[in-house]
Amino acid sequence: MSEMIRIAIQKSGRLSEDSLNLIRECGIQFNNGTGKLKSEAANFPAEFLSLRDDDIPGYVADGVADIGIVGENVLIETHQKVDLVHRLGFSKCRLSLAVPRGDDYRQLTDLHQKRIATSYPRILSNFLQEHKIEADIHEISGSVEIAPSIGLTDAICDIVSSGSTLMSNGLKEVEVIFRSEAVLIAHPNLSPARQQILDKLIFRIKSVQAAKN
Ligand code: ATP
Ligand code: ZN
């Protein structure tokens, strides 16, 4: 059997549709049957694995998948040994600090010794360290935005797109700490044959991106 590359994409979520569109725009046809974990392309040496986005960097680091598409936020947070090979420009979002609307927040140092809820403890703690703020990070996996109203924390650090979730939870955005977009990641030591397939794919992605600009 000839060489093929394994591509991990998000099964269902905010990356899925644009990831699939990009692959199609690259002229790659595949049958992404609903609920199917694995599917093979008809006209390109690739097969696709549909996974939870959080698992993608780990699978690529382990070599279970050769390449993958994830949010840069998840890439940095999971801290896996993979290469960021190309920026994809979709699923743009920001990771921000937010506090209760009534707070008279003025500057970052106001967060000194405060409790902050987040699902991104690594990115947050890097940011706080850089700015010499000592705060108490509470890692929670979901519904971060309710933490202040239930008295768990004084602030949150979460993904913001429109700000309406913050608003409905009585919060206001006070600092952007990270800007993210979808990125293509790769296993650091691909075989020459797979590297060649990846190069071909990146070439096609660049053409698709160039045609849009
Ligand atoms: P999974 O079930 O795969 O774990 P999830 O719920 O963790 O999914 P999604 O909400 O689908 O993740 O978000 C996937 C990625 O899309 C995020 O990590 C981020 O990079 C990006 N993203 C998140 N929110 C938005 C948004 N509102 N607009 C655009 N991109 C976003
Ligand atoms: Zn996830």
Enter the CATH code of domain 5-91+181-212. 3.40.190.10
CA 142 to the chain's CA centroid: 15
Whether 5-91+181-212 and 93-179 share one fold: the answer is yes
Does the predicted interface ipTM exceed a cut of 0.85?
A: yes
**Which of helix, strand or coil describes residue 153?**
coil
Find all residues with CB under 8 Å of 203, minimum gap 6, and list them. none
90: exposed, middle or buried (C-beta count within 10 Å: 0-12, 13-18, 19+)? middle
Task: Give the number of the ligand closest to the Cα of residue 94.
Answer: 1
The stretches in the chain having pLDDT less than 70 are: 1, 32-35
Pocket flag, ligand 1, residue 159 (CB < 6 Å): yes
Cα-Cα-Cα-Cα dihedral sign, residues 140, 144, 150, 152: positive
Q: What is the pLDDT of residues 99-151, one digit of tens each?
A: 999 999 999 999 999 999 999 999 999 999 999 999 999 999 999 999 999 99
Quick one: pLDDT at residue 33? 64
**According to the CATH classification, is domain 93-179 in 3.40.50.970?**
no
Pocket flag, ligand 1, residue 161 (CB < 6 Å): yes
